[in-house]
């Protein structure tokens, strides 16, 4: 019923705002081919808090190794919390610019924001739908009755993103420090006992945690959890062993390839949607993020009064290890389109079209094609 409701919401959205459909068609035809864009980002992710319950080994924001690293420390422990008014301003700008979807995120745990449900409700009020991220910390969810709050809004939630990093609870908890495997799945089960909300389960693939991913699929499915399985390659930040270039999935990693084939087979058998990454060294996909999305995120390297509304593309190597700190602040523009087609972003797109990458650290990304 939930998926049907989401589909009806999408159809209704295109009927009421037909230009959204035109935008999507233009994006599909011109993605990666033109520099000045007649369509808006396909989605905008809004960072609402810098607080987190975890210290994930690979996280540039909360891993203790990031704090001591001279390169990535500009993103470590960003102490911020967006106000309700500023959040609404960003949502309004996205809606007015015809951005079709808004995703609510944090550098850690969005449900540590005291107004999280109020923020989610505003996106629902404006868009008729919402997606968001969570680590599903059991203590936080039970204390604030967040399971019931989510279930109450189920018909408007397109998906919820979360990380599960191994089928082995101990390994998951070692990588995602502060998380508890059983508690995480218990919260997801409770939500799916009352609704078929879709969970977008991310697994960051490395040579350390590729084993038995098919068992993770079986475990989630056996618990009645409605999910799609998104296996993604690691960004090699190189601030510890887990984020080193040596641990990424490469074409000569035969055992990982075999495991990915097993995952595809079990997902097909169980009817679970799955996305499988190409090996890091053979990727045939050029970077197209500058045609598809924007994300608000602070940095210690910009003035604190400019943190809220600061726009960057995400936590790629160019942002974490390179020199990308800001493409501007949304609140300095009359509308989102002015920033989206700012001369800086237009130049980056022009350069990418001609295989010129915007930052030296792009060479350490899987979407760098000049290897």
Model confidence pLDDT, tens digit, residues 275-307: 999 999 886 778 899 999 999 999 999 999 999
**What pLDDT score was predicted for residue 220?**
98
**What pLDDT score was predicted for residue 369?**
79
Confidence of residue 9 (pLDDT cuts 50, 70, 90): low
CB 161 within 8 A of CB 203: no
pLDDT digits (tens, 9 = 90+) for 255-270: 999 999 999 999 999 9
Give the whole-angstrom CA distance, residue 362 versus residue 367: 8
CB 112 within 8 A of CB 106: yes
Q: Which domains does the chain have, with CATH numbers?
A: 1-30 (no CATH), 41-371 (3.20.20.70)
pLDDT digits (tens, 9 = 90+) for 304-324: 999 999 999 888 999 999 999
Judge residue 107's burial from the number of C-beta atoms within 10 Å of its C-beta, 0-12 exposed, 13-18 middle, 19 or more buried.
buried
Question: Structure pTM?
Answer: 0.94
Give the whole-angstrom CA distance, residue 295 versus residue 102: 10
Give the whole-angstrom CA distance, residue 293 versus residue 132: 15
**What pLDDT score was predicted for residue 73?**
83
Confidence of residue 17 (pLDDT cuts 50, 70, 90): confident
């Amino acid at each position: 019923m939930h998926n049907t409701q989401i589909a009806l919401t999408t159809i209704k959205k295109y009927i009421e705002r037909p230009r959204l459909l035109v935008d999507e068609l233009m994006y599909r035809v011109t993605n990666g081919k033109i520099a000045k864009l007649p369509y808006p980002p396909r989605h905008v992710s809004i960072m609402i808090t810098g607080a987190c319950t975890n210290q994930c080994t690979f996280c540039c924001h909360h891993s203790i190794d990031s704090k001591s690293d001279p390169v990535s420390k500009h993103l470590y422990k960003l102490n911020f919390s967006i106000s309700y008014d500023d959040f609404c301003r960003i949502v309004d700008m996205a809606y007015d610019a015809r951005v079709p979807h808004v995703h609510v995120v944090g550098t850690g745990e969005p449900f540590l924001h005291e107004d999280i449900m109020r923020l989610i409700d505003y996106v629902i009020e404006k868009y008729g739908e919402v997606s968001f991220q969570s680590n599903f910390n059991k203590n936080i969810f039970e204390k604030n009755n967040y399971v019931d709050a989510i279930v109450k809004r189920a018909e408007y939630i397109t998906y919820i993103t979360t990380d599960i990093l191994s089928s082995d609870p101990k390994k998951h908890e070692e990588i995602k420090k502060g998380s508890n495997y059983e508690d995480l799945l218990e919260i997801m089960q409770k939500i799916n006992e009352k609704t078929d909300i879709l969970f977008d389960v991310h697994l960051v693939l490395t040579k350390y945690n590729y084993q038995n991913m098919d068992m993770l699929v079986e475990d989630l499915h056996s618990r009645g959890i409605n999910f799609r399985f998104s296996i993604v390659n690691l960004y090699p930040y190189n601030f510890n062993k887990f984020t080193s270039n040596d641990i990424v999935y490469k074409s000569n990693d035969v055992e990982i390839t075999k495991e990915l084939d097993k995952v595809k087979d079990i997902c097909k058998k169980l009817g679970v949607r799955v996305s499988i990454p190409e090996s890091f060294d053979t990727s045939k996909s050029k970077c197209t993020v500058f045609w598809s999305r924007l994300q608000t995120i602070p940095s210690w390297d910009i003035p604190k009064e400019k943190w809220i509304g600061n726009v960057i593309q995400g936590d790629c190597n160019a942002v974490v290890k390179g020199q990308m700190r800001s493409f501007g602040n949304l609140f300095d523009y009359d509308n989102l389109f002015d920033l989206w087609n700012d001369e800086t972003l237009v130049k980056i797109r022009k350069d990418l079209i001609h295989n010129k990458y915007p930052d030296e650290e792009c060479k350490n990304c899987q979407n760098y094609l000049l290897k």
